[in-house]
Amino acid sequence: MFGNVQVVLFLLFTLVILVLAVWALVDALRRPASAYVAAGKQTKQIWSIILGIATAVAFFSVPPPLGLGAFPTFLALLSAVAAIVYLVDVRPAIAPHSRRGGGRGGQGPTRGGW
C-alpha cells in the first residue's frame, strides 16, 4: 500500500517540477530582451537556454507511467531550482520593464473625475 502512495507522490512531485519549469520558460520567452538588461539580470538568451534545459530535464525525469524516467531525481530538483530562481528573483525584477500599455487595458486616458 505504501509503495503505491510513494509512486503517486513521486509522480505528482515530478509533474509539479515540470509545470514550474514550463511556466518559467514561457514567461521568460514572452518578456522583451531589453527588460533583462534594464533590470541588471542575465540576458534573455541565457535565461531561455537555462530554462529550456531545465524543462527538458524535468520532462525526462517524469516516471514511466507518463514519462521516460530517464534522468535521476536530483536532476529534476536542479530543474526546480532553476525555475524557482527565475520566478522568484528574475521575474519580479524584469516585470516593471516589460509591462504593456498603461495598465488600463488600452482604454486610453480618462476624461474627468467621477
**Alpha carbon distance 54, 26 (integer Å):** 12
**Alpha carbon distance 68, 66 (integer Å):** 7
- The mean pLDDT value for 68-86 works out to 88
Cβ-proximal residues to 13 (8 Å cutoff; 6+ apart), any chain: 76
Residue 51 lies in a domain: yes
Q: Residue 11: exposed, middle, or buried by beta-carbon count in 10 A (0-12, 13-18, 19+)?
A: middle
Residue 109 lies in a domain: no
Residue 112 lies in a domain: no
Check whether 101 has a pLDDT greater than 50: no
Q: Are 65 and 8 in contact (CB under 8 A)?
A: no
The pTM (predicted TM-score) of the whole model is 0.79
Q: What is the residue range of 39's domain?
A: 2-94
Percent of the chain at pLDDT > 70 equals: 85
Residue 108 lies in a domain: no
- The mean pLDDT value for 9-21 works out to 93
